[in-house]
Structure 1
Amino acid sequence: MDEVTPPPHRLLGGFLWPVLFAGVLALAGCSKQQTLQALFQKATPHEAYARQLHQAGLDGRPAGRTWLAAADKALRDSLVVTLPFAETGYFRPERPLAASYRYAVRVGEQVHVSLTLAPGAGARVFLDAFEVEPGRMPLPVASADTMVLDFRYRAENDAQHLLRLQPELLAAGRYTLKVSREPSLSVFPVQGKTDKAVASFWGSDRDGGARRHEGIDIMAPRGTAAVAAVAGYVTRTGETPLGGRVVWLTDAAHNEHLYYAHLDKQLVSPGQHVQPGDTLGLVGNTGNARTTVPHLHFGIYRGGRGAVDPFPFVRHTESPAPATVGPDRRSEFVRLRNAAWLQPTAAVSNGGSRSRTRLSTQEPLLVVGQQGPALRVLTAGGHVGYVPAKAVVSAKDAPLRRLNLADDKELLTGPASGAPAIGVLVAHASVAVLGSSKDYSLVRGPQNEIGWIVL
C-alpha cells in the first residue's frame, strides 16, 4: 500500500485529525484486498469504501458525513463537458469533495477514461460512470479505482453519462483526468480506409425520400478488401435487389449483426468463424448501387432494436485539448475582474447556459481544476463551476486592502460560524484581505496563513 503521512494535529469539523486519521488508516490497511474482492462482487469500489466508512463509524463523523454527502451531490449537480476533454484538478484534504462531469454518448462508442496522479499524490481515487435520465436513479455502467487508472467502457444507448471522481478521505494532491471517445469496433470494415472515406451517412434520403439510409457508405476502389470488424460467425451470404452481393456477420458478444452490401465478390461461407481483419469480400457496386462508384454499404442491426447508426462504432479517436492553458492555478484563490455568472460548462466564451450563482468581484474563488482556458472554481458558498482564466486576478497578488486587526480574531477554515478554527490572529497583526463573502473575509496573516475571519 502507499505510504500515508499523518496530517497535522488540528480540528476538523469538531473532532481531532488524529482520530479521523486512525480510522482512515484502518481502512487503508485492508483497501487493496477489499478492492480486489469488489471486482468480483456487485459492490463497486466506491460502494465498498462507503461501507468501510460505516463499519469504522466514520459516517457519523463530520468529515465522513461530508464525504458521503459530496458523493450524493455529485450525482445530482454535475458540470457539463463535451468529449473529448482533459482537466486538471486538486484534492483538498480538509474539505472532502467529489467532481462530476456530464457528457453525451452515442450507442457504439467506447469511452476512454484516464486518470493520472501527480508525483507524491498517493491517494486512492474512485471513478464511477453512470447513465443519467431525468426522474430516474443513475444507472451504473462502469466503475474503477486507482488500482485501474485507465479503463474503457462501451455505450449501449444514446444517452447522457455522468462520471464521478472522488478521492478517499484526507486525500491531497493534483491530478489530470482525460475522457475521450473511441470506436468500439476493433477494425475498420474496409481495409486501408478510415472514417474519412465515409461519403453517405445514416438517415440520408433514399428513393426520393421514400426511405432512409440505414447505414454508412464507405468509398473505396473496386476490389478493396471488406474485412470483419469484429470476431464472429458468418450467418448469411447471398444476393438481393437492394444490397447486391451481401455478407451478414454476427457479433454474439454484443447481440449485433454487421451487414456488408454491394460486394463485388463474397469470399466467406455461412457458418464460417472469422477474426477481426479477415477478408469477407471485395468492394463493388452490385444491387441498386450499380449506377454508382464502388463502395461498401455497412450497417449494424442490434437484436431487438433493429438498425442503428454505425458511424459511432467506427469514428476515429479524437485527442482532448491540453488540460492547462497558461499557468497552473490549482489551489490558488482568485477573484473576478467583473461580476459574472458561474458557468456549468467550461465553454464559457460562448455566452451560453449559466448557473443561478452570481459572482461578485469581492468573492474569493478557490481554483480546484483547470480545463483549457477555463478554471473550475469553488465558491465560498460551496458552489462549483467554471470561469474564464482571463477574467480573474490573483487574490494574493491583488488584495482588496491591508489592515491591522483591532483585536484577536479566530482564523477559520470556511466562512461559517461552525467552521473549524486553524489558529488565532492576535490584535494589531497586519493582514491582507483577499476577498469577502457576506460577513466573512478571507485574509492572509503575517505568517502567510490563510483563513476566514469576521471583521
Structure 2
Amino acid sequence: MKNLSLYALVFLSLSCQGTKIEQLFSSASPYDKYLHDLKSSTLKNNSLVKDWEAAGEQALADSNSVELPYKELTQFDPAAPEAASFLFSAREGQEITINLKLLSDTSAIWFIDLFKVNGSGDLEQLKPERNENASRYPVGSEGKFLLRLQPELLKGGLVELSISYASTLSFPLLEKSYLNIASFFGDSREGGRRKHEGVDIFAARGTPVLAVSEGRVSRVGNNRLGGKTVRVSSGRYSYYYAHLDSQVVSAGSKVKPGDTLGTVGNTGNARTTAPHLHFGIYAPGWKSLDPLHFFQDAPELADLPMADSVFLNNWGRVKGELVNLRQGPSTRSLVLDKLGRQEVFRIEGKTAGWLRIRLPDHRKGFLASNLAEDIESPLDKRTLQDSDWLKVNWWSSEFQHPSFSGKAEVFGSFGQFDLVTAANGIQLWVKNQADRTDL
C-alpha cells in the first residue's frame, strides 16, 4: 500500500507540472514502446503477448554468427511469435548497413534493433539512423554487434535481410579507391623499427589531394618524415596528408569533402620513392587507425532466388551420412555438432549455399545446402500400435492413444523419435521401434 501511495504521488506530481506520461517513454526504442503498448492493452494477459516478448528475449540470448556482408531469405509465421538475431563483427570507420526487403506482407511493421556487445557480454542498445526498413550506424570502436529482427504481433511473411558495411569517408584522390592502396597500415618501416601508421596511394606528381570529410585545417607544415603536410581536424578524428608537392590551404580554414588541400609529391623521407600520398587517421590520444576500413565498401552480394523460399519454415532432413552443423555459413566456421543421416530440422533461413536451421531441441546453426533435402517424400512406412509412445511436438509430454493406430509414413528422425504422418494426416513424433521397451 505504501508503494501504491508513492506511485500516486508521482503521478499527481507529473500531472500538476503538465508532464505527460508518454514523455517517460520518449527515449525508449520503437520495440520497447510497442511492447509497452501491448502490455497496456486488453491483450496484456494474452499468451500470444507473453510468447512475443519471450521470443524477443530468447533471440538476444541465442544468436546466429555471421560475417559481413550477409544476406538471407527468411520467413516468419504470423501465427507463431518469432524473432531471429545475428551476431557479427565490425571495425571502426565502417558504417553498418541493414536493409529489410518485404516480399509478401508489405503492411507489416518490423523491428530492427541493433546492439553493441560489451566486454562483459552485456548488450548496449544503439540508435542507428532509420529510414523505414533500412538502418545505418557508423562504428565508433571495433567490436561485436547483434541485430535482432522481429515482426509485430500476428504479422510476418517472407523477407530478404541484408547486413553489410559501407565506407564513411570519400577517397583523397580522384578516380582512385581503396583498391589503389599500395602500402598498408602496419607494414614494416626502417627495418622493423617502426610500423606504417597510414596508407600510401601512388599517383602522378601534381595530382590534387582532396579532403575526405568536413573539418578545419589544424596545421600546414613541413617536417623531415612527412615533408609538406596538412592536418585536418573533424570531430573525433584528425586526418594527416603527407609528402605533398604543394599545399593550397592555410591553418584555420574550413573544408568540405572534395576540397583541394594540396598536390601529390614525394617530399620528406619519400624523396627517393615515386610520388605518392601518405594518408593517416588519428583518434584522440594520437592513436593511429587503419584508414582502409574508412574507405572500403562491402562487395555486393547476388540476389537470392525466390525459389529458395519454398521450404522456409518447413522440415528438412540430412541426406549425408554424417554432416557438420556449423556456427556460421562457412566451412571456416566452428563445428557445433555432427548430424546423422535422415535427422530432421526446421529451415529458418536460406543464404548463398547454406541453410540456417533449428533442430527440434532448439539448437541452431548452419548446414550446407547440398547436404540437406526437403521431406516431401517419405523414407519408409510403419504401423502405429496402441502401445506406441507419441508426442505432438518435441517438447510435449509422451502419451499413448488408439486413435492414431494404423499405417503411417516416416519422414525422418531425431533422437529416439521418428517424425511421421499418421493415417489421419496429423504429423507427430513416434518413439523409434528400436527404442521400445516392449519389443
What CA deviation, in whole Å up to 9, does each residue of 1:392-425 have, x standing for no partner?
122122x232346556999976223269xxxx99
Instruction: Name the structure 2 match of 1:91.
Output: 76
- Structure 2 residue aligned with 1:149, among 90, 115, 133? 133
Judging changes above 3 Å, is the alpha-carbon distance between structure 1 residues 386 and 113 closer, same or farther for their aligned structure 2 residues?
same
Instruction: Name the structure 2 match of 1:335.
Output: 317
State how far apart, in whole Å, the 2-side matches of 1:367 and 1:183 are. Answer: 33
State how far apart, in whole Å, the 2-side matches of 1:308 and 1:300 are. Answer: 6
State how far apart, in whole Å, the 2-side matches of 1:64 and 1:418 are. Answer: 24
Instruction: Name the structure 2 match of 1:4.
Output: none
Judging changes above 3 Å, is the alpha-carbon distance between structure 1 residues 249 and 119 closer, same or farther for their aligned structure 2 residues?
same
How do residues 24-35 of structure 1 correspond to structure 2 at under 5 angstroms?
Answer: none
How do residues 79-118 of structure 1 correspond to structure 2 at under 5 angstroms?
Answer: 79-118=64-103
Computing the radius of gyration over CA atoms, which structure comes out larger, 1 or 2?
Answer: 2
Letter in 2 for 1:249: V
State how far apart, in whole Å, the 2-side matches of 1:297 and 1:389 are. Answer: 46
Judging changes above 3 Å, is the alpha-carbon distance between structure 1 residues 327 and 151 closer, same or farther for their aligned structure 2 residues?
closer
**C-alpha displacement of 1:223:** 0.8
Judging changes above 3 Å, is the alpha-carbon distance between structure 1 residues 60 and 360 closer, same or farther for their aligned structure 2 residues?
farther
Judging changes above 3 Å, is the alpha-carbon distance between structure 1 residues 61 and 437 closer, same or farther for their aligned structure 2 residues?
farther
Instruction: Name the structure 1 match of 2:237.
Output: 256
- Structure 2 residue aligned with 1:309, among 287, 290, 296? 290
Instruction: Name the structure 2 match of 1:224.
Output: 207
State how far apart, in whole Å, the 1-side matches of 2:155 and 2:386 are. Answer: 35
Tell me whether 1:364 sits opposite 2:341 in the alignment. no
Judging changes above 3 Å, is the alpha-carbon distance between structure 1 residues 409 and 88 closer, same or farther for their aligned structure 2 residues?
farther
State how far apart, in whole Å, the 1-side matches of 2:67 and 2:108 are. Answer: 27
* 2:122 partner SS: strand
What CA deviation, in whole Å up to 9, does each residue of 1:97-145 have, x standing for no partner?
3222122211101111111111335322111222214523112234588
Q: Percent identity?
A: 34
Worse overlay, 317-326 or 148-157? 317-326
What CA deviation, in whole Å up to 9, does each residue of 1:36-90 have, x standing for no partner?
x99x932111222222233237565443333323322322322221111111111
**C-alpha displacement of 1:341:** 4.0
What CA deviation, in whole Å up to 9, does each residue of 1:178-232 have, x standing for no partner?
11121111x2111221112111111112222222111111111111111011111
* 1:366 partner SS: strand
CA contact (8 A) 1:415 1:437 kept: no
Judging changes above 3 Å, is the alpha-carbon distance between structure 1 residues 444 and 144 closer, same or farther for their aligned structure 2 residues?
farther
Tell me whether 1:130 sits opposite 2:115 in the alignment. yes
Judging changes above 3 Å, is the alpha-carbon distance between structure 1 residues 121 and 334 closer, same or farther for their aligned structure 2 residues?
farther
| Structure 1 gap segments, 5+ residues each | 1-36
Judging changes above 3 Å, is the alpha-carbon distance between structure 1 residues 74 and 274 closer, same or farther for their aligned structure 2 residues?
same
Instruction: Name the structure 2 match of 1:436.
Output: 413
CA contact (8 A) 2:128 2:137 kept: no
CA contact (8 A) 1:233 1:271 kept: yes
What CA deviation, in whole Å up to 9, does each residue of 1:328-380 have, x standing for no partner?
43123111022334221111x34x4122x543334321111011111111211
Judging changes above 3 Å, is the alpha-carbon distance between structure 1 residues 184 and 302 closer, same or farther for their aligned structure 2 residues?
same
Aligned residues: 407
State how far apart, in whole Å, the 2-side matches of 1:375 and 1:159 are. Answer: 26
Instruction: Name the structure 2 match of 1:241.
Output: 224
Instruction: Name the structure 1 match of 2:370.
Output: 390
CA contact (8 A) 2:129 2:137 kept: no
Tell me whether 1:65 sits opposite 2:77 in the alignment. no
CA contact (8 A) 1:59 1:68 kept: no
State how far apart, in whole Å, the 1-side matches of 2:283 and 2:149 are. Answer: 32
Letter in 1 for 2:380: R
State how far apart, in whole Å, the 1-side matches of 2:187 and 2:411 are. Answer: 58
State how far apart, in whole Å, the 2-side matches of 1:310 and 1:59 are. Answer: 50
Tell me whether 1:267 sits opposite 2:248 in the alignment. yes
CA contact (8 A) 2:128 2:136 kept: no
- Structure 2 residue aligned with 1:165, among 138, 149, 152? 149
Tell me whether 1:292 sits opposite 2:273 in the alignment. yes
Letter in 1 for 2:409: A
- Structure 1 residue aligned with 2:260, among 279, 285, 288? 279
* 1:390 partner SS: helix
CA contact (8 A) 1:368 1:378 kept: yes
**C-alpha displacement of 1:250:** 1.5
CA contact (8 A) 1:230 1:276 kept: yes
**C-alpha displacement of 1:272:** 1.4
Worse overlay, 51-60 or 235-244? 51-60
**C-alpha displacement of 1:159:** 0.9
Letter in 2 for 1:290: R
Letter in 2 for 1:359: L
Letter in 2 for 1:400: L
* 1:369 partner SS: strand
How do residues 368-383 of structure 1 correspond to structure 2 at under 5 angstroms?
Answer: 368-383=348-363
- Structure 2 residue aligned with 1:43, among 28, 32, 47? 28
CA contact (8 A) 1:415 1:453 kept: no
Letter in 2 for 1:334: G
CA contact (8 A) 1:127 1:163 kept: yes
State how far apart, in whole Å, the 1-side matches of 2:73 and 2:98 are. Answer: 14
